Amino acid sequence: MVAIEEIAVRRLVQRAKAGDHDAMRQLYLRFAPHVHDYVKRIVVNPDDADDLTQQIFAKVLTELWRYEPGEALFRAWILRVSHNAAIDHVRRTRAFPCQEIWTQHEQADEPPLERRASLREALASLTAGQRDVLVLRHVVGLTPEEIATRLGRSLRAVH
């Protein structure tokens, strides 16, 4: 069944490479939900996932010539493109304000109340899942394996 599906996809890719807009539309309709779900797991924010999905297909439209059917399934190729775009997005949007980077001396002089407020602010900037993992690891003291079991996630997701 997979082979039949891949043959159909490869035909669509050939047509899209030749400039067939309907074939590109069919590729979009077939793969956009998978791309969106995959990207959403990396960037977390649904609006960012929507935007990235559109950007990925815009890129695919101009970069489809790079896909060689014999090397990998189209689905694997487009998910690799999606992965790279999502990781690039996360790197670009990660904020590191200079004012918040302290030397060790400055950190030691910070009053405990300000440290708590700073920690609360940092924890609030995380997703709920990231916050849960940090709290369970560094406050509760669970091992990554215990955290994975408790949260129903894979060990890799915890790391």
CATH assignment of the domain containing 23: 1.10.1740.10
User: Residue 97: helix, strand or coil by DSSP?
Assistant: coil
- Contacts of residue 27, Cβ cutoff 8 Å, sequence gap at least 6: 9, 12, 13, 16, 60, 74
pTM value is 0.56
pLDDT tens per residue across span 29-38: 999 999 999 9
Q: Which of 92, 93, 24 is closest to 59 using CA atoms?
A: 24
Q: Which of 81, 79, 74, 83 is closest to 12 using CA atoms?
A: 74
> Domain limits at 42?
2-93
Looking at residue 125, which CATH number applies to its domain? 1.10.10.10
* Boundary residue ending a domain (93, 114, 136): 93
Same domain membership, residue 22 and residue 63: yes
pLDDT tens per residue across span 105-146: 555 555 677 877 887 788 788 887 888 888 778 777 778 888
Same domain membership, residue 102 and residue 85: no
